[in-house]
Amino acid sequence: MEDSAIRKGVKARHVKTYVKRFLHQKGLRKTFRVLVNGSQLTIQELEREEEEKKGEEKKEKEKEKEVSKKEEEAVSKKEEAEEEGKEEEMKMKKEAPPAPEKKVGGEVKKEKEKEKEKTKAKAKAKAKSAPKGKKKSEKKS
């Protein structure tokens, strides 16, 4: 077998595709450029890598600063909320609500009777709204 026989089956364009896929899987796709010129395949390393690293480092530092500021604000808000809650509790304890008025035995019975009447009225309304016709048990026979 000759080398030329093997090369006929594989084109440089296909190799380029697989090289790019490999670089992407390894996370190096942004750092290299793959070029095809005829049957020649060239891989160039991009110079942007150093500039991008510096930019990424600056972005990371800024993010860390923002996160630390947010954490400090959250802690201060929690402390303020706790202080306000304690103050409200103290006020509530000082200003105890007045005791509810006691009802006479006759008034309690009247209220219970009214509630029963309301529930009966609701039950009647539901019964009236029910569809008319034969019941399921009557249809089967």
Q: Average per-residue pLDDT in the chain?
A: 76
Enumerate residues 6+ apart whose C-beta is below 8 A from 28.
Answer: none
* pLDDT for residue 1: 40
The total number of residues shown for the chain amounts to 141
Structural contact between residues 38 and 66, judged by C-beta atoms closer than 8 angstroms: no
Enter the pTM of the model.
0.32
> What is the pLDDT, as a whole number, of residue 26?
93
What is the predicted pLDDT for the residue at 43? 92
Question: What tokens appear for 28 in the block?
Answer: 């190096």
Residue ranges for the chain with pLDDT beneath 70 = 1-8, 48-52, 93-106, 126-141
